Amino acid sequence: MESILNSVTTDDLLYRMIFDYYIEDEECMVVTIKDVAKRANVAPSTVSRVIADSSRISLDTKKRVRKAMKELGYYPNVNARNLAVRSSQAIGVIMPSSAETALQNPFFPEVLRGIGSTAHETEYSLYVSTGGNDEQLFEEVKRMVYGNRVDGMILLYSRVADPIMDFLVEANFPFVVIGKPYEQESRITYVDNDNYHASLELTNHLIDYGHRHIAFIGGTTDLVVTMDRLRGYRSALKKANLDFKDDYIVHDEFLRSSGRKAVERLFSLKKPPTAMVIADDMMSLGVINMLEEFGVDCPEDVSITSFNNLYLSELIRPALTTVDIQIYMLGVQSAKCLIEKLKHKEEPAKRIIIPYSIKFRNSTKNIN
Amino acid sequence: MESILNSVTTDDLLYRMIFDYYIEDEECMVVTIKDVAKRANVAPSTVSRVIADSSRISLDTKKRVRKAMKELGYYPNVNARNLAVRSSQAIGVIMPSSAETALQNPFFPEVLRGIGSTAHETEYSLYVSTGGNDEQLFEEVKRMVYGNRVDGMILLYSRVADPIMDFLVEANFPFVVIGKPYEQESRITYVDNDNYHASLELTNHLIDYGHRHIAFIGGTTDLVVTMDRLRGYRSALKKANLDFKDDYIVHDEFLRSSGRKAVERLFSLKKPPTAMVIADDMMSLGVINMLEEFGVDCPEDVSITSFNNLYLSELIRPALTTVDIQIYMLGVQSAKCLIEKLKHKEEPAKRIIIPYSIKFRNSTKNIN
DNA sequence: CATCTTCGTGCAAACGAATGCGCTTTTGGT
DNA sequence: ACCAAAAGCGCATTCGTTTGCACGAAGATG
């Protein structure tokens, strides 16, 4: 009798404790798979199988379990899940080391948006790199890989002799790169534009417009994309029997001060260019700005074409003639590729070329 | 006898399988805490304590263990760790729903860079939202919170009656917002600029320059930042005894088509504005573009001032007079705040105001 | 009416690390 | 020399899931 009384009191107390607890910190009320199981009168394993929508569970049970989950507000603990299945349903996104102001380029949020879109559809999460300099970045990649933080990675850039890329192929870790890998091209899956032909076409357009003195301004030469665009430019010149002058090539980060020197040099040549192919809309912005300081007008005195078709390239004056590389699409496809690869481990290396199109606007002038 | 034979063969096979496996996929050779323990001749628990740099372990042992870790290339499994300690050393970054092209704003990569920087220092990882529309975003936040995916969150925007923010305070989940919360201001920690005074000062500058007809162009009115900037503008007008005209106020997403209408309306007024306060550099870009179409020159015919001091605001023509809100710093501080809060659970709600400064450039003209 | 499938579940052992507690040593004080 | 305290370390449990295997109950087959 007494024991019953005790028992009752204890239960009562317990109930109130739980109740109070519940009131205080709702977020701490962790409801686990066991709670759900209890409420649905099944074993935890059954609940787990319901979550996975296993065919081995009857519809009746599934419904009952799902109801219990709803009622309890159950959300699976990812960490436990990931530990058990040794994966993380997350993909790592590696930006170039943020030391470079390249990050200010709207290219990144846009490509991130694309990646995020397909990641979301497939219930993957996004992990983005935070590393400041190259070394930190590398360290972080290692942590992601070895620490089981992500199942795969997307590299948002491609440079020559990139230790991170080397590391990833070495470790046989699934990844895709946006841009063309510098080496082992056939063994790495990547999504890219046909930058070579885009550049060629762009340059041809300038040639068609009567330009014979065309400069090329690109970013650091260790970016593969820069080199591809340069190659396209050279080919176009060659095919038109125009000679290629080293003086017309500028490689620069294009932050203000250094950019100034570049433009200064270009326009103090005995024969300054009447047109330029610039590897990135943001650079064009910088160039146009410099140009103005030197009293050179675009497109009157010099025509400008560039790449990426950023949102703002249409807003500035003059609106840029630029190649639309479909940034968003690059993101979408790279994520799709990666996830495909994660699902079927032995998926072969792929290459996906996103079509480009040239947006003709008014930064170029026909001087025929 | 036969069973022994069998057993041997099986073991042998198994061994070879493991061996092959080892050769094939290096990354699968997961080295755990136990392996390290074995190699260092200690118990796994000791290794764990070495990792945590516990004072209970002698320096000798620590060194030995660390050596073993290096040699084996040990990296802790985050999932296991997180499961055990019930945290994740990750912070969630919530961007506005990516449906809006707002994402193209370089504000985001820049603030991300700031967050990433301090996250990296403190060994936190970054989880970014991928949600497309508001609903998806909400769902994702729930998954992050309930699923133990992140320890805390940073909201990159603040709007009125945001269900996500409500949810987070309701769940008592640690978060900080960049921008001023619409309600419960005193209970939410946030980092912001003094947008009111910045706007006031900016408007005063235009008034000092002799402008009497000043328009305000802002984004959607449900962004708190927009409202703050609008308030500053109104105050300045009032103090200068200028009357506030509804005709001079435009709220718009400022994508091309809609933006056109806005500018059109503004400049077909009997008394068009001679100056404007614009809530964002990107918008200014759009406005300037429209202006040109209408044959209105900036700064000759109309002065423009705006906010954010994006990298590009200095590059465009005319270079924008804009308030530098220190985007990077906003990111850094918000992350610091959050991490502080995570460390000391009962940290009070804070408010951090990042100082602003006005960059005077040539988009404004003195018409006295 | 046995035997054999299928079907629906539950049991228990992983997954890799953290940690309370207890067991040895050492150290220091008297 | 003795005892207490402290230092250094290991055992075993825990975190919340997944999953191979086994088990029991139907239904099908002979």
Which residues make Cβ contacts (< 8 Å) with residue B251, sequence separation at least 6? Answer: B217, B218, B219, B220, B221, B226
pLDDT at B29 (0 to 100): 60
With a pLDDT cut of 70, the percent of chain A lying above it is 88
Using an 8 Å CB-CB cutoff, list chain A residues near B172.
Answer: 25-27
Q: Tell me how close the Cα of B216 comes to any Cα of chain A, in angstroms.
A: 20
Amino acid at A43: A
What is the DSSP code string of B267-329?
A: TTSSS--SEEEES-HHHHHHHHHHHHHTT--TTTT-EEEEES--GGGGTSSSPPEEEE--HHH
pLDDT at A257 (0 to 100): 53
Q: Is the pLDDT of residue B330 over 90?
A: yes
Query: Of B116, B148, B256, which has the smallest distance from its Cβ to A79's Cβ?
Result: B148
With a pLDDT cut of 70, the percent of chain B lying above it is 88
Q: What is the mean pLDDT of chain A?
A: 86
Strands B303-307 and B321-324, bridge-based pairing: parallel
pLDDT at B21 (0 to 100): 35
Using the CB atom, is residue A49 less than 7 Å from strand D? yes
Contact assessment for residue B303 and residue A330, using Cβ atoms and an 8 Å cutoff: no
Q: How many CB pairs under 8 A join A and B?
A: 176
Residues in chain A: 368
- Kindly report, residue by residue over A200-254, the tens digit of the pLDDT: 999 999 999 999 999 999 888 889 999 999 999 999 999 999 989 999 998 876 5
**Which is higher by pLDDT, B185 or A198?**
A198
pLDDT at A251 (0 to 100): 85
- Kindly report, residue by residue over A343-367, the tens digit of the pLDDT: 888 889 999 999 999 999 999 999 9
Contact assessment for residue A353 and residue A192, using Cβ atoms and an 8 Å cutoff: yes
Task: Kindly report which amino acid residue has its CA closest to the C1' atom of nucleotide C16.
Answer: B80
What is the DSSP code string of B84-141?
A: HHT--SEEEEEPPPTTSGGGGSTHHHHHHHHHHHHHHHTT-EEEE---SSHHHHHHHH
Query: Of B109, B116, B170, which has the smallest distance from its Cβ to A130's Cβ?
Result: B116
Determine whether the interchain pair B312/A282 forms a contact, defined as Cβ–Cβ distance below 8 Å: yes
Question: Region A1-16: what's the mean pLDDT?
Answer: 36
Cα-Cα-Cα-Cα dihedral sign, residues B62, B67, B68, B69 = positive
pLDDT band, residue B13 (cuts 50/70/90)? very low
Query: Of A80, A171, A286, which has the smallest distance from its Cβ to B315's Cβ?
Result: A286
Which residues make Cβ contacts (< 8 Å) with residue B135, sequence separation at least 6? Answer: none
- Kindly report, residue by residue over B132-160, the tens digit of the pLDDT: 788 888 988 988 898 889 999 999 999 99
Nucleotides of D under 7 A from a protein CB: 7-12, 14-20
Where do the domains of chain B lie, and which CATH numbers do they carry? 2-85 (1.10.260.40), 90-193+327-354 (3.40.50.2300), 195-325 (3.40.50.2300)
Q: What is the mean pLDDT of chain B?
A: 86
For chain B, first and last CA: distance in Å?
109
Q: Tell me how close the Cα of A41 comes to any Cα of chain B, in angstroms.
A: 23
Exposure letters A146-168 (e unless 16+ CB within 10 A, then b): bbbbbbbbbbbbbbeebebbeeb
Residues of A 214-243 whose CB lies less than 7 Å from any atom of strand D = none
pLDDT band, residue A262 (cuts 50/70/90)? confident
- Kindly report, residue by residue over B71-123, the tens digit of the pLDDT: 998 999 999 999 999 888 899 999 988 666 666 788 988 899 899 989 988 88
Largest CA distance in chain A: 110
Task: Kindly report which amino acid residue has its CA closest to the C1' atom of nucleotide D14.
Answer: B84
Determine whether the interchain pair B285/A316 forms a contact, defined as Cβ–Cβ distance below 8 Å: yes
- Kindly report, residue by residue over B35-50, the tens digit of the pLDDT: 999 999 999 999 999 9
pLDDT at B301 (0 to 100): 94
Other Cβ atoms closer than 10 A to A352: 16
Closest chain B CA to residue A25: B172
Residues of B 68-87 whose CB lies less than 7 Å from any atom of strand C = 74, 76-77, 80-81, 83-85
Cα angle, residue A235 at apex, residues A232 and A240 outer, rounded to 5°: 130
Using the CB atom, is residue B52 less than 7 Å from strand C? yes
Amino acid at B260: R
Determine whether the interchain pair A106/B110 forms a contact, defined as Cβ–Cβ distance below 8 Å: no
Q: Could you tell me the distance in Å between the CA of residue A135 and the C1' of nucleotide D16? A: 35
Q: Could you tell me the distance in Å between the CA of residue A28 and the C1' of nucleotide C15? A: 24
Query: Of A27, A83, A173, which has the smallest distance from its Cβ to B172's Cβ?
Result: A27
Question: Region B173-197: what's the mean pLDDT?
Answer: 95
- Kindly report, residue by residue over A47-72, the tens digit of the pLDDT: 999 998 888 888 888 999 999 999 99
Using the CB atom, is residue A58 less than 7 Å from strand D? no
Least confident of A126-135, A171-180, B157-166, B199-208: A126-135
Q: Coil, strand or helix: which one is B219?
A: coil
Q: Tell me how close the Cα of A346 comes to any Cα of chain B, in angstroms.
A: 12
